[in-house]
Chains A and B, each alone.
Chain A
Amino acid sequence: MRFSALTLLRSAFDGQSRYPHQWRKADPRPSYDVIVIGGGGHGLATAYYLAKEYGVTNVAVIEKGWIGGGNTGRNTTIIRSNYLFDESAALYDHALTLWRGLSQELNYNVMFSPRGVLMLAHTVHDVQSIKRHVHANRLNGVDNAWLTRAQVAAFCPGLNMSPEARHPIVGAALQRSGGTARHDAVAWGFARAASARGVDIIENCEVVGIRRRIDGAVAGVETSRGFIGARKIGVVTAGRSSQVMAMADVRLPIESYPLQALVSEPTKPVLDCVVMSNTVHGYVSQSDKGELVIGAGSDAYVSYSQAGSAHVAAEAIGAVCELFPQFARMRMLRNWGGIVDLTPDRSPIIGKTPVPGLYANCGWGTGGFKATPGSGHIFAHTLATGDPHPIAAPFSLDRFLTGRLINEAAAAAVAH
């Protein structure tokens, strides 16, 4: 079924009752050319672009839970590309380019909303650091602009611009082309489009082992539904990369931490952009349902608990109330944690591993959602051709051996 204005109109008259399942519930076949482990946004995008761009349709996406039930459903949906270093700017701007046409491409409304991402400066150091980002972005052709204090007040009237504030706002960077998208729709749209091109999406199927041939190359995966053969395996398992890679005796430079987020009760439209602040450490946007979506910092310790400590969420609320005192009496509805795989340089790992036929797309840390289509697109190239896409090449696993790190850890918009 192809969505159009006509199908929407028809559905308005039949009680929205005739929508079919959006993707096939596939049972595993004995073997595939490519198996993608992990049915989140990145894994599904990988499968979609494998089928679309490279004609590789004998592909399975294996997911231990349900589609988009992991970090794809747990993030704060912010999209931007104003990263400092050339490699990162190329990576995230590639994704931003794909975001712009994604709803049309997938024939599925991912609700991409380039409403502007505002990064606040509160101190002299913030001003210097943010201006450096703006200039670096400009040289790389990435949209980002410096706003004076008056321009910030005009762009986001709800902000507390008082010079009496504990951390007064003195300016900001604004990426107008950044914004948000509907995270579930991204997973569902990619699943639907991949399935339509012949990709098998196998849910409730947990990978418990990676079988190797006598020469060391991958032979397939052992799962809770039996053995499935594969010539190539792409591991796209945010929050579990260390465990899945350990099945092939690969130890990654990754540690996993909880990252918390929370949403308020729904309210009328009060905030029409994304606001981030490194100094008070919080970020906030308003979803189309009306909830304020608030992101906290990552917790201090390695954990898989998907909860984190309460004081971390409380600090994020404190930061948001510092920026928007009028939110202080709003009630928070839900608070949760997702497990993020942090690399030492806070940049992802995309490419080959020491095991022939085993490829990694992991370590996206605290900010993978924004890269979803770009990540899938370049990883599909890597899987299809065996060589990294030019944009992915600097993000190889062996940079931790050569020392050629891409240290966004020191350059993050919101330090984690």
Chain B
Amino acid sequence: MLLIDCPFCGQRPEIEFRYAGEAHVLRPIDPRECEDEEWAAYLYRRRNPAGDHAERWHHVHGCRRFFNARRHTVTDLFSGSYPAGTPGPECEAGQ
């Protein structure tokens, strides 16, 4: 089980959280204006790296706030978490 560092509550077991996918996926400002390609990329295409991954977590059985964390997807080791809305860390391209 992962130990996840909630920026508001500290380290808590994974079962208190809900995973919410890749972080920093920006929604096109006006979906009516964007190309299908751009909309499909927003909806479906993900980095899915074997390496550092910035991702959203929801502390659903705790403070109930969303936040972002960086985790290495091969080792599952976290290297920091930060409030949602702040810029993402540098992630290496991965394998």
Contacts and interface: CB of A to CB of B under 8 A. Distances in A.
Contact of B19 (A251, A300, A305, A401): A300
Contacts of A300: 14, 17-19
B79 interface: no
A237 to B, nearest CB: 12
Contacts of A243: 49-50, 94-95
A255 B48 contact: yes
B92 interface: no
Given A302-B55, A304-B73, A304-B74, A253 B2 contact: no
A344 B43 CA distance: 9
Contacts of B76: 303, 305, 307
A305 B75 contact: yes
Contacts, number: 69
Contacts of A401: 36-37, 40
Contact of B46 (A255, A307, A309, A310): A255
Contacts of B49: 242-243
Interface in A374-414: 400-402
Nearest to A311: B1
B1 A310 contact: yes
Contacts of B47: 242, 251
A324 interface: no
B53 interface: yes
B15 interface: yes
A311 B44 CA distance: 28
Contacts of A252: 45, 48
B88 to A, nearest CB: 15
A386 to B, nearest CB: 23
Nearest to A253: B44
A253 B46 contact: yes
Given A303-B76, A309-B14, A401-B37, A256 B44 contact: no
Given A242-B47, A304-B50, A305-B75, 10 more contacts: A242-B46, A243-B94, A255-B46, A300-B17, A300-B18, A302-B22, A302-B73, A309-B1, A311-B15, A344-B43
Interface of B: 1-2, 14-15, 17-19, 21-22, 36-37, 40-41, 43-50, 53, 55, 71, 73-76, 94-95
